Chain A
Amino acid sequence: MTPAFLYALVGIVLFSIGLYGLILYKHLLRKILAINILGSGVFLVMVALADRIGDAVPDAVPHAMVITGIVVAVSATALALALMLRVNEETGQAVLPEDREA
């Protein structure tokens, strides 16, 4: 097992943890964190798979993609947090209506 393969495996585990959290947790902050963990999993897979040629120098293209992906993820998280605060302001709870406890 190469280190790159191990990293990719960890990436997939992170992706699964994020998916689990996104679906099962109700609080929006937890959902937003879960999306970030899920995204980190994808980025880790991308970085690890850059080693595909097996040379000392990894492929730079996936790295460029990950940087772009991180920029997107940061902006999306900012928007999500702002929306979460508004949801809390409007409904008194930071959860979606279908998850609200009666």
Chain B
Amino acid sequence: MLIDSPHWIIIIILLPILGSVVCFLWREHIVKLALATAVGTVTSVGVLSWQVITNGVQRYELGAWSAPLGIELYLDGLSLLMLLVTAIVGFAISIYASAYFKDDKTNIFWPLWLFLWSALNALFVSSDIFNLFVTLEIIGLSAVALVALSGGANAITAAMRYLLVSLLGSMLYLMGVALLYHSYGTVDMVLLSLRTEMTPTMWLIMGLMTTGLLLKTALFPLHFWLPPAHSSAPVPVSAVLSALVVKASFYILWRLWIVVFPLADHAQANLGFILGLLGSLAIVWGGFQALRQTRLKLLIAYSTVMQIGYLFLAFPLANVMGWKATLYFILAHAVAKTAMFMAAGNILIHRGHDRIADFYSMAQYLPLTISAFALSGISLMGLPPSGGFIAKWLLLEASIVSGQWWWGLVLIVGGLLTGAYVFKVLGYAFIQEDSSNEPYPIGISKRMEWMALGMALLAIVLGFIAPFILRIMDIGSPFAEVLS
């Protein structure tokens, strides 16, 4: 039967890349074609989810070449949730972008974005560390081109810096791949996990790969390139970068850390502690920087720097619950940050600027957008009932269970800082003052307002469907290796 076919896993990669090429060649109907591709991709991911939820882990050998020679695609609960959040965010962004881009930029945006989507899907189903390098490079190159799309000195220099950082990160990672292949004779993660052991070379490999991927994930203090790139990109691109692209390199690091690196208990604790500490610094530093910003898009970009910090708090804990919390942070942040950038985009179009101090009467003009901003802020703060709350709750529980309660303090400080910068924006938006009395000429499409609100509501809904999502996380028990 069609729905049981094993080929859906390859369709989610091929369909967007095909759509990208078609959009590039046939520009008359580009938006319709691109949206059709988006619908097709989301449907394929839906079918694939149904397969995984009913039948468990999916494997696919490309061209029927089996590992170690061939490339094997592998899909467990962790990959599936990453694919699902990519599909949901990707779909919302496609709808938003169809109203956002008006000029000739449309013709450039769609091929690049579908290309990026295809690479993200490919990354989340790859279990081959070299194939991961290739997908990571495709993501990096298309993301850089998308940042440059908005033009102007800021965006171009930000894109340039992003490209250099991204290439350095990939090269460090590739050196690690070379050494791993040399030492253990395979690039398949599962086979590697059986063979790796703690040798001096392994320390070098871990150092190279971790540094490269941290650079791409923008963990403090390697975050310097992120705020300019994420804030100067066009709004739909900013949303994709913050919601999905930084998570892609994090995902690789995370998988390596759980599966490939042979971390004995004490090494895990010490190295994990360093990552947890950097994560905590990212939370505090990112939070303060966000609070200091006078422009909304920069504020949201620093908020991403901060939220990346949360993803690293589970590394010193290294228990299943901590990893689940991390995954929940990824999901909640992806959805909430998309909503927040969309809200910022609506404000930017409405006012023609994003100076927070001049946001007076915004709540009257754009009630849906301001509600979206507030709701996504609730999830970022981690107030119940929201996706962010579940993530923080799980992490708090994990830190208490493993006797490292101090990571809980970081969560509280982070929540307060987030509250401060969200309310700073809301405070200005509710000021009643319209001295100029001139009407704002540029209307925004209702679609853009509703998309922002829809994503913000989804960030809240994530707080209610936690049992369902936690059940998906257990498929193929991606975090089980940690227990041994």
Contact = CB atoms under 8 A, between A and B. Distances in A.
A91 B178 contact: no
A45 B153 contact: no
B159 interface: yes
Contact of A72 (B134, B148, B157): B134
B164 A31 contact: yes
A38 B170 CA distance: 11
Interface string A1-32: 00000000000000100010010000010011
Nearest to A44: B178
Contacts of B252: none
B331 to A, nearest CB: 30
B263 interface: no
Interface stretch (B137-145, B234-242, B301-309, B414-422): B137-145
Given A45-B178, A79-B141, A97 B157 contact: yes
Contacts of A87: 153, 156-157, 160
Residue picked from A32, A52, A97, most chain B C-beta under 10 Å: A97
B273 interface: no
A35 B157 contact: no
A96 B69 CA distance: 43
B134 A91 contact: no
B406 to A, nearest CB: 35
A83 B174 contact: no
A100 to B, nearest CB: 10
* B contact residues, range: 20 to 34
A68 B181 contact: no
Tell me the dominant secondary structure on chain A's binding face. helix
A76 B160 contact: no
A28 B160 contact: yes
Interface in A31-82: 31-32, 35, 38-39, 42, 45-46, 49, 52, 61-62, 65, 68-69, 72, 75-76, 79-80
A90 B171 contact: no
Contacts of B145: 79
A31 B141 CA distance: 17
Contact of A76 (B130, B133, B156, B167): B167
B197 to A, nearest CB: 17
Interface in B117-156: 130, 133-134, 137, 140-141, 144-145, 148, 152-153, 156
Contact of B130 (A45, A65, A83): A65
Nearest to A19: B168
User: Which of A45, A62, A76 lies at the interface centre, i.e. has the most chain B CB atoms within 10 A of its CB?
Assistant: A76
18 contacts: A19-B168, A28-B160, A32-B164, A39-B171, A42-B171, A42-B174, A42-B178, A45-B175, A49-B178, A49-B182, A62-B181, A65-B177, A69-B133, A79-B141, A83-B163, A90-B152, A96-B157, A96-B161
